[in-house]
Amino acid sequence: MYDVVKSLHSYWAYLVLIVLIIATFNAIIKTIGGKEYEANDFRKSLFTLIVSHIQLLIGLVLYFVSPRLRLFSESGMGEIMKDSVNRLYLVEHPLVNIIAVALITIGYSKHKKKLTSKPKLKTIAIFYSIALVLFLSRIPWSAWLGL
């Protein structure tokens, strides 16, 4: 089960990154260009919200079926924090990515309350950009790219 969930989490991450990049750059370009908020912009931001939440759920399942989880009881938090790989997988990656998904959720919710195009697009641009940077900062690149 672990390998299936791990593969799903890895492949779904590509989808999350692609739609997050599209939604973010769309909002940035339209904000800078002074363009109007359209129904398609709403769909892009909503789809990003949905796929990121699905990724979060897959990630939580992966976290709790991971063989690394037993390191908490075997080694303790001090030993986990000393090992950069275990710290990434057990602490940094989950925590930062939960924060990123929360930012996407907050940005999506806040943008819906705005009444005009510029504030809607600006809200999406800000929150989704921060989330994108956080996602990119905590991807285990060596494992993801097969290095």
User: Would you say 101 and 49 are in contact if contact means Cβ atoms under 8 Å apart?
Assistant: no
Q: What is the pLDDT of residue 145?
A: 66
Are 72 and 90 in contact by the 8 Å Cβ rule? The answer is yes
Cβ atoms of 58 and 9 within 8 Å: the answer is yes
pLDDT, one tens digit for every residue, the chain (147 residues): 889 999 899 899 999 999 999 999 999 999 999 999 999 999 999 999 999 999 999 999 999 998 888 887 888 888 889 888 888 889 999 999 999 999 999 999 999 999 888 999 999 999 999 999 999 999 887 776 654
Parent domain of 42: 2-144
| pLDDT, position 72 | 79
Number of structural domains found in the chain: 1
As a whole number of angstroms, the distance between CA 55 and CA 83 comes to 25
Enumerate the H helices of 93-145 as residue ranges.
93-113, 117-137, 141-144
At residue 146, the pLDDT reads: 58
